[in-house]
Structures are given as structure tokens and as C-alpha cells.
Amino acid sequence: MGMRYFGTSVQRQEDKKFLMGQGRYVDDIEFVGMLHGAFLRADIAHAKINGIDTSAAREIPGVHAVYTLDDLGDPYPNKPMTTAYASPLLKQTICQHLLAKDEVCFVGQTVALVVAESRHIAEDALSRIVVDYEPLPAVADCRNALDADAPATHLGLDSNLVGNFYGKFGDIDAAFAEASHTFKVDFHEHRGGGHATECRNIIANYDAGKDETTVYLTTQAPFLIRRLMARYFEEDESKIRVICPDVGGGFGPKNGPYAEEFVLAIVSKQLQRPVKWIEDRRENFVATNQQGDQMWHMEIACEDDGKILGARGRVIHDMGAYVPYGLLLPATSVFPLPGPYALPALDVTLDAVFTNKTCTSPVRGAGRPNAAYAMERLIETVARGLKLDPADVRRRNFVRKDQFPYTTGGTLPSGDPAVYDSGDFHSLLDMALENAGYEDFKERQAAARQEGRYLGMGISSCIEDTGFGPYEGVKVKVQPSGKVLLQTGAASQGQGHQTVFSQIVAEELGVDIDSIVYQSADTGTVPHGVATAGSRVTANAGPASQAAARLVRKKALKLAAEVLEIDEDDLEIEDGIVRATAQSGRNVNISLGDLSFKLTPLMNGKVPDGFEPELEATSFTSSTGVPHASGSSVAEVEVDVETGEVKLVNYVIAHDCGKMINPMLVDGQIIGGVVHGIGNALFERMVYDENAQPMSMNYGEYLLPIATEMPPFEVLHQETPSPHNELGVKGAGEGGTIPAANAIIAAIENALEPFGVVVNDHPVDPQRICELLDEAQARSGAA
């Protein structure tokens, strides 16, 4: 049977409402009697609180309540939050109280809440709250957090170490003993925030009649949040319902948990009113998790031809002030380190440290872009050190096609060994290079240099472990109308889940895609889900959609065979009609809707013998292992050596995410992802002063990539099916972001090769490039 939907660029089912302004985001929802909250936040990075006076705020007309931690009542003053991901590697799991108790440890920490008739009034009241702070020394830079004289990030701490994470395999000492060459390289990586265009928003609505709280939330993980809330409140999960309406982008930080959703749930119950809180952009800059800094000190051992024998080093990782997200972010910075390379030995220790800055959790790609950057830096360092073509060094070290499944020697956070399932890294790189014009680039570059123009080309290759488990639940149900209800637990923040899963179900079940009714991300109605994170949804909910649709199909065929008195094998389903095939010689049919009706009779009917009611099935089928997507990117830049400006001339990415369900949507994910990576390489920097006071709190200072600064993107595909699911799919959400930084930085270095400029740290801005040029000139002048 030819594929009608699978693999085609179907236009999105979800578009129309957004195009017409009918999307429904949290801030678009209103309830009768709804009140509005505004949080007072710490405006100092580290301080002892000697007292909070809320009396003047309470007097403002229109203010309903003001809460400090004590005002929330028992048990909250003595009940800090817990981390979402506990780990034995965590040495100090410090989590914040819902509102600050005695001490604030980062600018943006929740201190008090005002609930009022309107947001305007709530903000009027905020300015009347007086907090008596006693400033304490703060740690702003993770590089100094473990120094002997570093201030304690929390009162009473002996050390700012959160915990360590290790990446070790192979015989590292032998690798370095045998190596013909070793090189050292240090680099600082900064990744800012997620910066979804919609901030984090919440409505908590307590229903006294049912003793149930419904939370409308901009989360990527509704089921996770419900579980964490239920656990914290010591409630049954059925008493809390988390609903994600339309969500304006996620990119990691919307996974949560955050203090605000807990506070709102408490307050809605106490006031017996729906309470809304809309995070404004200034809050978002300090209150929503970011990814923060990493300092890498690495060393690599290799042979004359660039064959790598081993890598070792140390990473200092900035955790921010608390540990809401366990060590997930550090872990994802270490275990993917080998990347697409057959690395014989690795020995890396990561020190996760507290600072007095906004908490951290994954941002698009989590630690993977960091790890990819680290490995690619090592490749660049080897190529530079040995004067080899960076493409050749990559080719020489790639895992070969015949080596799959390839066991890296490393371990995943789940404890399982890291195994690459499929791919062809060599052909991907060749594809990217060919389309980028790598072959004759040297000539173009030389000609341009004659004119005083500095062109550069940079490569970056990566793998991406996608689709980590355990599962996403999917329910498919044919209704008597013939419409097919498709429910998933997975929340969408714009990825196009509705379209993709509808494509799978329509294909498998034999219905028109427009007959599918999609529901998701409501813990009250859909099957259990986990989270939209780590490019995991397609590889989990995809197989589950297929499996559920297949079960429904089977049931429909079996029932139709009975009803139509025909052999099951002589039936096919097309456009929702089960009919006899041409070969069967019969001309009978019945619609899926009618079959559904037979399975859901009313009082005067009866379910056919041998059948369960409802034409429906639920599946939690997921990938059987980790599908690994892969990619090679090539960036071309032009650098103005007088001003340090970098113009992105071209960007080619060859990508392999297995079978593509909807190529148009895959391209959208990849290009969007690359642009995030470009932001990390060139633009986005959250600046703090030495007292950990944030300086970049608006979009004039924190620079996001914009249309005029972006190069043309060319996305090329290679489809190596993953053996881990029948669809052959792999995740695609982060494969653009992961390799981007090195492609850009290497391209800048390539452009500035005549000056001997090595950039290493990112983001890099024009000013820094000029400084590097000056330093290089001073070096060569001195030499």
C-alpha cells in the first residue's frame, strides 16, 4: 500500500487557530472571580532577611491578600521543595522554600506574593512591601566557586560543591602514554535561557465541591508536575489536574517544577478563588531556569594522523543557587562526549557548583551542545596542532557504518551502556561538505583575502541520543460519528505533535487525517505521559500512536469480518470505510463509525460476543533502545577584521533523524534549532556583575537571533532508520542546536587563520574578536 500521510509534508492541523488569533494560551483564559498575583522577588543575589513588612501593601484597595512564607501557613515554612531528579551523586541537594525563608540566594527568588483584583494593583502593592535585607557575599562566577576563599553561596555551607559527575571508560593512562601528540585546550561555554516567546504562566483554580485543584500551566511536563505537586502536598494525584493549553514555546526551562505553581495552588485553595500569575519578561530573565556556564580544561592524546586515543579533563559546571533539576544537566554534558567518534578512552570529571544565580536546568539540547562543543573543540585543536584538514580528522575518527550497533564504553544516566544504533557519519559529512562547496572554498578564500575580505568555513559533527524513555501514552478511539479521537500525554509547545501523530494514525488506521480529533496534555483526560524534552516525543509517542492505531484496526477488521460475513484478509480500510477488497469479488462495506456504534450500544443493544466495548486502544509502546540522530554542519562566515563583525554567509546541515514522518516539520525543528545554537555562539549572553547582580534583563541587552542576522539554511537529509522502533524514527528537536556553536566558532577561526586567532570561548562578540586580533598581533609583533 502506498503511503498517503507518512513521510509527506502535510500542512499542520494546528495552524488555523493560531493564524486567526484563536490560540488559547494560559493568559487568554479567564474565570469568574479570578484574581491576579504578582511576586516580590529578591533584588539582591545573597542576603539574610531580617524582616518583611507587608502592612502597607495590604492597605491598597483591590488587594486581597499578601503572603510571605509564614503567611502560607503550616507546614510550608518548614517544607522546602524537593528536587525533581534525586541522585546519589548529589552531595548537597539544597532546594528553595516556596517563598524565601531567612535568606535569599539569587536575584529573582520568590519572596512574597500579592493577590489582587488586577495585575496593575498587585504591582502597585509590591512596591509597598519592605524587606529588611542584610547583604551577604555572593558567588557570581562558577570558576571561583570552589576556591578556598570563595564565599558560601548559602549560609552555613562548608563547600559550594553540589556533586560530581564522571565520564570514564577505557585505559586513559595508556592512551596518553602511547600518544605521539597531546594537546591542551581550555574553553568557557555560556548558554543563556530558553526565551520562549511566551513566559511561564499559571492559573490555579480550586474547586471546593470536588476538593480538586486544576492548574493551567505552561509546562512541558504536565504529568511530572502533577506527581511532584501530589507528592509535596501529600495528596492523591486525582486531586490535582494539570492542563497545558496552547504553549508558546518550551525549549527546556518550561519543564519545571517551579515554586510559583505550588504557591498558586495553595493560595487558590486558601482564597477559594481562581488565581492567575503571568510571568513578565523581566521576571523571566531571573526567575526562569537558564543553562549557565561551564569551564572546560581538556587534554587530548592522538597519533600523527589525527587518530584520537583518549581525552581527559575537568569541567566546572554552574548549577545556580538551588538544585530543582538534580544532576540531569551535568549528566547530559558528559555522557554524550564521545559524539560521533570512536573514542578509545575518556576520563572527565565534572564539578557541579552552586553560585548565587538563577537556577539551571536544560535549555534546548541540555548539556549535549556543550559536550558536542567540547569534542569538536578537541577535533579542531588536533587539526590545528597537526596541520590537518579538520574534515579529515573527523573522518579518521568517526564510528564507521559497519560498527553499528556501537558501544561507546560510556554509560547513560539510566545506567545502561551507551550504544549507537545506526547512522552513516562519513556520508553525512560528505553530503554537508559537498553542498557547502568545501572543495573549492580554499580558492574562494584566497581570492577574498587578496581583497582584504576574510572568509571562513567551519565544520561540526554530532550525534544526538533521542527518544529516551520510558514512554508516552497514546489512546486511539473511533467514535460513532466516525471521528477518531487521538489522545496523548505529551504536551506540545509548537512542535506539531497533532499533525505528526495524526499522520501516523491516519496512515495506520486508514482514515482521512481531517477526521482525527486531537487531545493532549491534560492529566484529567489523556493517558499518562512523561515530558516533551530531549527530542523524545516522536520516538515514544510515535510508536505508541502506531501501535494503538494498529490495535484499533485489528479490532475493526475482526468485527467487520463478522458483520459482513467475510474473511478478514479480504478487507481493507480506506477513508474510514472497511470494505471488501477488489480481489475478494464481494461488494460490501461498513464504516468505522458504525463499527464503533456496535461496540457502544445503548440500553436496547448488546456488545457482539467475543468483543470488549469501545473501538479503542491505548498503547505505551516506545522505542526499544536509544535512537541516535546524527548530523554534520558546515558554516561559512565573513569577518570584518576592522570591526570584528561576523556575517553568516551560509549554513548547511546534513541530518539523519531516521525516517521522517513530515519532512517539512523536521526542517522547521532543525532550522529553529540551529538558530538557537547560533544565538549561543554569537549573541546570547546573560551578564552578571561580580556581586551576581544580573545586568541583562531586557531584549535590548540580551540579544536573541533575528531574521536579518541569519544566513540561508540548507537542510539535507539522510534517512537511516532506527532499528529501535518499527517506524524507524529518531528525534529531531535538538539536532540543529547541538553542533551549531563549533561550526560558527571554527568558521571564525578559519577566517582569521592568517592572524593566528583561536576563539575557543563562546559566545564571541565583535569586541572580543577585535581583542583577539590585537592579542594575536601583539604576539606576532613580540615574536
Partner 1 sequence: MSEQLKDTRDITVTVNGKSYQEAVETRLHLADFLRLQLKLTGTHLGCEHGVCGACTILVDGEAVRSCLMLAVQANGREVTTIEGLADGEELSPIQEAFSEHHALQCGFCTSGMIMSLTAFIEENPGADEAAIREAISGNICRCTGYQSIVAAGVAVAAKQAGGS
Partner 2 sequence: MKPGRFTYHDPTTIDELTGLLASLEDVKFLAGGQSLMPMLNMRFTQPDHLVDLNGIDGLAGIALNGAALEIGAMTRQATLMKSGEIAEHLPVMQAALHWVGHFQTRYRGTIGGSLCHLDPSAELPLIALLCDAELTVVGPEGERSVAMGDWPLAYMMPNLSEQEILKLISITPWGGHHGFAFEEISRRRGDFAIVGVGCQLAVENGSITKAAIAIGGADQVPYRLSEAEAALIGQPASEETFAAAGEVARQKDAMSDAYITAAYRQRLANVLTKRTLAAAAQRATGE
Q: Given the rule CB under 8 A, which residues bind partner 1? A: 9, 11-12, 14-25, 27-28, 30, 61-62, 117, 120-121, 194-199, 246-249, 251, 280-281, 493-496, 664-665, 667-668, 671-676, 698-700, 704-708, 710, 712-713, 736
Q: Which is nearer to partner 2, 513 or 697 (CB)?
A: 697
706 binds partner 2 (CB under 8 A): yes
Q: Which is nearer to partner 2, 608 or 766 (CB)?
A: 766
- Binding window for partner 2 (CB under 8 A); candidates: 11-19, 334-342, 733-741, 764-772: 764-772
Q: Which is nearer to ligand FES, 197 or 708 (CB)?
A: 197
701 binds partner 2 (CB under 8 A): yes
**Which of 55, 127, 525, 780 touches partner 2 (CB under 8 A)?**
127
**Which of 602, 606, 642, 782 touches partner 2 (CB under 8 A)?**
642
**Which of 78, 197, 587, 708 touches ligand FES (CB under 6 A)?**
197
Cell 500569575, residue located: 277
253 binds ligand FES (CB under 6 A): no
Residue 495 touches which of ligand FES, partner 2, partner 1, none (Cβ within 5-8 Å per kind): partner 1
Residue 88, SS3 per DSSP: coil
Q: Which is nearer to partner 2, 280 or 443 (CB)?
A: 280
334 within 8 A of 303, measured Cβ to Cβ: no
Residue 703 touches which of partner 2, partner 1, ligand FES, none (Cβ within 5-8 Å per kind): partner 2
Output the nine-digit C-alpha cell for 739: 553542533
Question: Taking the complex as a whole, how short is the minimal distance between the CB of residue 218 and ligand FES, in angstroms?
Answer: 13
Distance, CA of 189 to CA of 778 (rounded, Å): 26
Site string for partner 2, 261-280 (x = CB under 8 A): -------------------x
Residue 251 touches which of partner 1, ligand FES, partner 2, none (Cβ within 5-8 Å per kind): partner 1
Cα 546-548-549 angle, rounded to 5 deg: 65
712 within 8 A of 650, measured Cβ to Cβ: yes
CA 367 to chain centre: 10
Distance, CA of 249 to CA of 601 (rounded, Å): 42
In the window 222-251, what residues touch ligand FES (CB under 6 A)? Answer: 249
Residue 506 backbone dihedrals phi, psi, to 5 degrees? -60, -40
Output the nine-digit C-alpha cell for 66: 499578601
Question: Which residues make Cβ contacts (< 8 Å) with residue 40, sequence separation at least 6?
Answer: 110, 111, 112, 113, 114, 126, 129, 131
494 binds ligand FES (CB under 6 A): yes
Q: Which is nearer to partner 2, 77 or 766 (CB)?
A: 766
Cα dihedral: 520, 664, 684, 639 (round 10): 180
Q: Which is nearer to partner 1, 132 or 280 (CB)?
A: 280
Residue 21 touches which of partner 2, ligand FES, partner 1, none (Cβ within 5-8 Å per kind): partner 1
- 352-387 CB burial, b ≥16 within 10 A, e <16: bbbbbbbbbbbbbbbbbbbbbbbbbbbbbbbbbbbe
Cα dihedral: 352, 354, 359, 361 (round 10): 0
Residue in 632, 638, 635 with CA at minimum distance from that of residue 678: 635
Question: Taking the complex as a whole, how short is the minimal distance between the CB of residue 694 and partner 2, in angstroms?
Answer: 10
Residue 11 touches which of partner 2, ligand FES, partner 1, none (Cβ within 5-8 Å per kind): partner 1
339 binds ligand FES (CB under 6 A): no
Q: Which is nearer to partner 2, 588 or 770 (CB)?
A: 770
303 within 8 A of 309, measured Cβ to Cβ: yes
**Which of 4, 58, 79, 119 touches partner 2 (CB under 8 A)?**
119
Q: Give me the helix-helix angle, 663-678 and 737-751, nearest 10°.
A: 50
683 binds partner 2 (CB under 8 A): yes
In the window 451-480, what residues touch partner 2 (CB under 8 A)? Answer: none
Q: Is the peptide bond before 712 cis (omega within 30 degrees of 0)?
A: no
Question: Taking the complex as a whole, how short is the minimal distance between the CB of residue 23 and partner 2, in angstroms?
Answer: 21
672 within 8 A of 611, measured Cβ to Cβ: no
120 binds partner 2 (CB under 8 A): yes
Output the nine-digit C-alpha cell for 391: 574534515
If phi over 0 gives left and psi between -120 and 50 gives alpha, with beta otherwise, what is residue 40?
A: beta
**Burial class of residue 665 (count of CB atoms within 10 Å of its CB; 0-12, 13-18, 19+):** buried
Question: Taking the complex as a whole, how short is the minimal distance between the CB of residue 145 and partner 2, in angstroms?
Answer: 21
CA 774 to chain centre: 38
117 binds partner 2 (CB under 8 A): no
193 binds ligand FES (CB under 6 A): no
- Binding footprint of partner 2 on the chain (CB under 8 A): 119-120, 123-124, 127, 280-282, 642-645, 683, 687, 689, 695, 698, 700-701, 703, 706, 708-709, 765-767, 770-771
- Binding footprint of ligand FES on the chain (CB under 6 A): 197, 249, 494
